[in-house]
Amino acid sequence: MDEENTTVSGFMLRMAESIASTARSLREEDAAAFLAHMLSAKRIYVAGAGRSGFVAKAFAMRLMHLGFDAYVVGETVTPSFSREDTLVVFSGSGETTSVVDICEIARDIGGKICLVTATPSSKIARVADCVVAMGDLTGYYSKEKTPFEVRQITGQYRSVTAAFAPLGTLFETQAIVFSDAIISAIMEARKSDIADMKGRLSNVI
């Protein structure tokens, strides 16, 4: 890697190029199916572990701003899941044990499951109704086979790649851009008003 590409702006440009590459290769039918599930769900639940969990929470917040009944799995105020609801999972590996368990419960209840992942051949993908593959451009998920929970407990949560987008960084960045693009598509489909969204912003400090 030349010196120009190791600057902060150089890393940003490489990440932006990676996102553009993912957008160009994204299966439009998968994205359309994901959007259809969002528009038809009675309520939307989100789940993810680690930084993918933060992406999930950001997506839930934007859905709430659009007037959806959106909940984060594991929060104390989250109501029971039903067969009319949709679970959205963000998981690069698609194998995180705690998230797999959540998906199996949702499947047993009869609700829909949508997965955003870097590993479309994973355990979660096999039970999901809709899978959107972001790709694994750095090869992180194809190399790292140790479960997320084990890496956290044993201190193995470290980079196995070059300095560029270590660990699952690129997946998480792509996933939040994808989720924001879905929000834009929902706004277009529902002709949402920005003023209505602003009215739902938190005003309790």
Residue recorded with tokens 């109704």: 129
Is 97 within 8 Å of 72 (Cβ atoms)?
A: no
Burial of residue 165 (CB within 10 Å: 0-12, 13-18, 19+) is buried
Which tokens is 182 given?
């879905």
Burial readout 168-184 (b: 16 or more C-beta within 10 A, e: otherwise): bbbbbbbbbbbbeebbe
Rounded to an integer, what distance in angstroms lies between the CA atom of residue 121 and that of residue 104? Answer: 16
Residue 50 phi, psi (nearest 5)? 60, -135
Residue 185 CA, distance from chain mean position:
16
Active-site hit among 28, 144, 172, 188: 172
Q: Supply the DSSP symbol for 42.
A: S
Asked if 172 is an active-site residue, the reply is yes
Is 188 within 8 Å of 66 (Cβ atoms)?
A: no
Report the catalytic residues: 172
